[in-house]
Amino acid sequence: MCGIVGYVGDRPALDVVVDGLARLEYRGYDSAGVAVLAGGTIDSAKRAGKLANLRAALEERPLAEGTVGIGHTRWATHGAPTDVNAHPHLDCTGSVAVIHNGIIENFATLRRDLEERGHELLSETDTEAVAHLLEEEMPEAGGLAEAMRRVCRKLEGAFTLLAVDTADPGAVVAARRNSPLVVGRGDGENFLASDVAAFIAHTRDAVELGQDQVVELRRDSFTVTDFFGHPAAYNEYHVDWDASAAEKGGYDYFMLKEIAEQPQAVADTLLGRAGLDGTLALDEMRLSDEDLRDIDKIVIVACGTASHAGMIAKYAIEHWSRLPCEMELASEFRYRDPILDRQTLVIAISQSGETMDTLMAVRHAKEQGARLLSICNVNGSSIPRECDAVLYTHAGPEVAVASTKAFLTQLVAVYLVALYLAQVRGIKYTDEITAVISQLAAMPEKVEKVLDIVEPVREVARSLASEKCVLFLGRHVGFPVALEGALKLKELAYMHAEGFAAGELKHGPIALIEDGVPVVVVVPSPRGRSVLHNKIVSNIQEIRARGARTIVIAEEGDEAVVQYADTLIRIPDVPTLLQPLVSTVPLQVFACELATAKGHDVDQPRNLAKSVTVE
């Protein structure tokens, strides 16, 4: 969850590390801290709150100059976000400094034992125990890397650890278990981070570390071993976007920039998927056509916004491939003893590829013998590496915590997977698949059209800034869109918001309708699903008769809803299954504008972080 940066080279380490933290602040912003090795000592500073607080402290008291350093932005797990609990943490002697992403599950036992042996721990964190364990191991280990390996063998849980030691001032040592860590390879300098965004301004050559590995980083080299000191394999790759892709580009917020990038992101995700003969291709496919023809059930696992993409995937997969499909919240999946076997295909959806609940669901499915396919945005991340196949979404870096372009590209990806399965299983002919691909190819222009006409969305959002509650209704694929709209409002505006299947209104939710309550309704096409359209028009009449303020999202040419809409938001007409690609966009703008009207930071909503790498 937290942002971590390490640097070894010739530049001032503090500048490199703080710049990297600024690019990673979306991963955690409860507190921030840095440590620099200089003159045989560790000089450090840390502050609760956002990175700006740390910057102010560094202006007041600059750190000593050095070319080796580590830095951290925190999303609190153990201990409140205070100066004392901020990272880095030092050992008793002040010679070892540690930063940490993840949760050390056995820290209470480790801490008690350390205190019994005379160590004085100052914070409430699980991280500080590691600094003191390294202190104990150093005399026999003979170096920080071996000490780190010995300590890691004692730890339980998920963690990325970075450490520096005054006894070896030319190195940063790091370890990884169930938490992201990547090396950036430069010329006479090397970097460590939880995300390539931290060092993309300096190098695009990266190394993704594997599970249970330790890396020793020096200015001209790095060495990777497992936790027992054996040489370990790792994955080298080149990042295909540059630093400008992670900057705001003139927008007030990253979220606004990422909403505007959605037409291009959708186009990029489609690029190169269909051959001249109409056949589809995924990125890395280690499942044969025969394997996929043996599949008799599909289970989708995901969390948060990705789970809404999974719900829409269920409609597409069952419609196009005729395979039964279940959508499961990854956080609940392995705890309910799911029925899986070799004929089950588990599809894991995660923007970062490091979502811990989803990663654990993948591992549980693998233990049960299921086949695994991932949909992910980050090349080389944990989830795709542990699956049999992957389709990368090519959304580029998504910095704002609330997902926008990642969601739309996940939708494109699940449509492609559904069509791929239909193709392999012979359920659809090539010309039928080509026709759908052509419809998808038209979607970037359709999304662009929505973005050009969303000013009414902004106006109505600003008018609702004093409201306490907004409800969302949808049918068919509009139901997950309603859930996504409600989630965005919760995340950004801190308002009570609920999404409902419109057909469930009379089964309870209609009791919430009272005079003036805003209700956003996602209306299905009158052409593709006329029965559903008629029913949702009846739903709109029901809530309006009870005093609701109706905000209706309907396609161009749908005149049946006009007289029942207090505010009408038009979207382009598209095939029913593809409508979420355009109907979601106004809801993103709605949530962003309403949150801004309330004075909230839409890029960094309270209590949330971009990549949830703890359970």
Q: Which residues are catalytic?
A: 2, 610
Say if residues 360 and 330 touch (Cβ distance below 8 Å).
yes
126 burial level (CB within 10 Å; 0-12, 13-18, 19+):
buried
DSSP annotation of 38 reads E
Assign residue 419 a region (left: φ > 0; alpha: ψ between -120 and 50; beta: otherwise). alpha
Say if residues 392 and 596 touch (Cβ distance below 8 Å).
no
Say if residues 524 and 478 touch (Cβ distance below 8 Å).
yes
Rg for the chain, CA atoms, rounded? 25
Burial 564-597 (b: 16+ CB within 10 A, else e): bbebbbbbbbbbbbbbbbbbbbbbbbbbbbbbbb
DSSP annotation of 231 reads B
Of the CA atoms within 13 Å of residue 516, those in its CB half-sphere come to 6
**H or E segment to which residue 480 belongs:** helix 478-493
The bridge status of strand 469-474 relative to strand 518-522 is parallel
Say if residues 284 and 327 touch (Cβ distance below 8 Å).
no
Tokens 């801190």 -> residue: 494
Say if residues 456 and 567 touch (Cβ distance below 8 Å).
yes
All residues at 6 or more sequence positions from 467 whose CB lies less than 8 Å from its CB, including other chains: 495, 518
List the end-to-end C-alpha distance of the chain, in Å, as a whole number. 10
- β strands within 556-606, DSSP E: 567-571
**H or E segment to which residue 177 belongs:** strand 172-177
The bridge status of strand 205-208 relative to strand 235-238 is antiparallel
The bridge status of strand 172-177 relative to strand 157-165 is antiparallel
β-sheet bridge partners, residue 37? 42, 68
DSSP annotation of 5 reads E
Angle between helices 304-321 and 405-424 (to 10 degrees): 30
CA dist., res. 450 & res. 373, Å (int): 32
Taking 3-state DSSP, the helix, strand and coil percentages for the chain, each rounded to the nearest 5, stand at 40, 25, 35
Say if residues 116 and 132 touch (Cβ distance below 8 Å).
no
Cβ neighbours, 10 Å, residue 118: 8
CA dist., res. 86 & res. 74, Å (int): 7
